[in-house]
Amino acid sequence: MPHPGPTDGSFVVKVDDEGGRPVVRVRGELDVATSPQFAACVDTALSIGAPLTIDLAEATFMDSTGLSTLIRAHHASGRVKEAIVLRSPCAAVRRTLEVSGVADVFTIEP
* Residue 4: predicted pLDDT: 39
Number of structural domains the chain divides into:
1
Closest-CA residue to 93 (of 65, 53, 61): 61
Instruction: Give percent helix, percent strand, percent coil of the chain, each to the nearest 5.
Output: 40, 30, 30
Instruction: For residue 4, give the DSSP letter.
Output: P
Residue 100: inside a domain, yes or no? yes
Residue 5: inside a domain, yes or no? no
* Residue 9: predicted pLDDT: 61
Residue 2: inside a domain, yes or no? no
H or E segment at 54? strand 52-62
**Is there a contact between 90 and 59 (Cβ–Cβ < 8 Å)?**
yes
Residue 1: inside a domain, yes or no? no
Residue 54: inside a domain, yes or no? yes
Strand pairing class (12-18; 21-30) = antiparallel
**Residue numbers of the domain that contains 19:** 13-109
* Residue 39: predicted pLDDT: 96
CATH number where 40 lies: 3.30.750.24
Residue 3: inside a domain, yes or no? no
* Residue 20: predicted pLDDT: 86
Q: What is the pTM of this model?
A: 0.87
- Between CA 18 and CA 15 the distance in angstroms is 10
Residue 4: inside a domain, yes or no? no
Q: Assign 105 to helix, strand or coil.
A: helix
Phi then psi for 22, rounded to 5 degrees? -70, 140
| pLDDT, tens digit (0-9, with 9 covering 90-100), for 39-96 | 999 999 999 877 899 999 999 999 999 999 999 999 998 888 788 999 999 999 999 9
